[in-house]
A and B are shown apart, each in its own frame.
Chain A
Amino acid sequence: MDRALSAAATGMAAQQQNLDTITDNLANSDVAGFKGQVQRFAELTAPGEDGSGTIALGPQVVLSQGKLDKSNGPFDVAIDGPGFFTVADDRGKRWYTRDGQFARASDGTLRNALDMRLDGVRVPAGALSMSVAGNGRVTATMDHGTQDIGRIRVAEFAAPERLRGAGGSLFAATPESGAARVVELGTENGPKVRFATLERSNVSIVEAMMQILSAQRAYEANAKGVQAADEMLRIANNLQRG
């Protein structure tokens, strides 16, 4: 195919994928614990040629800390520092998330919005309130005093960027990410669990809007490139007059 035409077309396709990533970030910008993604691009080269366009290499997750906000939820927790909460679904499969918005289920377990159970904690019937220390210790206030009801564990990975995103703020372990390891919480420089706090997504809406604008303009510019290449071909085809 024509060089200019295909180069401009690869640019359009890449910016299309860029837009997909940015709009996904924007759609999840209100989800607690959500981690934004960035699309990466590289030059497309054929051997011995100057360059024939661009390629989107796929999104990469940005694991930077989201803003920690005070919240009113009686079971809300957040991680200050790296690591993930471990939650399990009905079939016992483990997932990892930074979303610490939990609610108490009838069986006493803490469950997130997807009905996945937080490992290691069970709130007994009759508990008046719950609190979590920086080291993950969970205590419940009962009629007759406080009671130790478990411990929130935070998992970390050797290569956390290789976790598989499973939609929203959920991640699954992969062979490339390594197995989950339990982090020691509450050390001076290490991660801490914060109670009555939620981690916001790390997506900045303003930044995402700007990215959308520039991706859209880049898409348009590449479309003009397609038009120009097409116009040249049309002119060349009309060189030979009847």
Chain B
Amino acid sequence: MDALDWAGSAMLAARTRLDIATCNLANVSSDGFRKLTARGVLTSNGARVHAEGSSQRGGIRRTGRDYDLAIVGPGHFSVRDAAGRVVETRSGSFERTLRGTLVDARGRTLLSDAEPLIVPQGATIDERGRVLAGDIDTHRALALPHDSTLRAGFLEESPVDPIAEMVGIVDASRSFESAQKVVGAIDSLRQKNASDVARVR
């Protein structure tokens, strides 16, 4: 590792920070989005930045749709895609299908204990995740952690704060420029070494 490598690693680190900030910013409207945070570490190969999932959650927005679900507290929805893969998500905008299953906008089916949750027509989901048809408990429920509640008719908004991400973009741009200046300075120093110091008079 010489000075040029260090300055170069700082440029790459600033670059990764820009990647993270723009990705967050792009998801400012994605409900249930898991924000990325930049984490910088110093390694023997220079400065390094990697993205880490943040546990920060967005606020809750009222939508008025029965099958828009938001989890207050820890926990997640398990959904299964067409290929059979089970994915965890906090994004809870579902639609009831003809067969009574709930699917999200990507066509993934909401699961309860590894089986699709079946919701009778007109049924609602209460704050414990139980499916109620009128006042009758259907004995079907979404599994939730103990201290979490479910809010039907609400969605968890994206936790991204556009102002913070804009600051992140400016910050990344400037530190990229500073690192570039250092690269430039080292470069001109070496140029001097190469052309002037060894000049034979």
Contact = CB atoms under 8 A, between A and B. Distances in A.
Interface in A218-234: 218, 221-222, 224-225, 228-229, 231-232
A232 B29 contact: no
Interface residues of B, number: 45
Nearest to B105: A57
Contacts of A8: 22, 25-26
A205 interface: no
A73 interface: no
B64 A60 contact: no
A60 B26 contact: no
Interface residues of A, number: 50
Interface in B87-102: 91, 93, 95-98
A232 B105 contact: no
Contact of A51 (B11, B51, B93, B169): B51
A1 interface: no
Contacts of A133: none
A215 B169 CA distance: 19
Contacts of B183: 239
A18 B29 contact: yes
Contact of A228 (B27, B51, B172): B172
B106 interface: yes
B69 interface: no
Contacts, number: 139
B55 interface: no
Contacts of A50: 19-20, 23, 36, 51
A70 interface: no
Nearest to B93: A40
Interface string B20-48: 11110111111101101000000000000
A158 B98 contact: yes
B100 to A, nearest CB: 8
Interface string A37-78: 011111110000011111001101011100000000000000
Nearest to B29: A41
B95 A4 contact: no
B192 interface: no
A58 to B, nearest CB: 7
Interface stretch (B70-78, B142-150, B173-181): B173-181
A114 interface: no
Q: Name, among A42, A222, A236, the residue most crowded by chain B CB atoms within 10 Å (CB to CB).
A: A42
B27 to A, nearest CB: 5
Interface in A12-30: 14-15, 18
B56 interface: no
Contacts of B57: none
B138 interface: no
Contacts of B170: 228
Given A11-B26, A53-B27, 6 more contacts: A41-B29, A42-B30, A159-B98, A235-B177, A239-B180, A241-B187
24 contacts: A4-B23, A7-B23, A8-B25, A11-B27, A15-B29, A18-B29, A43-B34, A52-B23, A53-B26, A53-B27, A54-B29, A57-B105, A58-B105, A60-B95, A158-B98, A159-B95, A178-B98, A218-B29, A221-B166, A228-B18, A228-B173, A231-B173, A236-B180, A241-B184
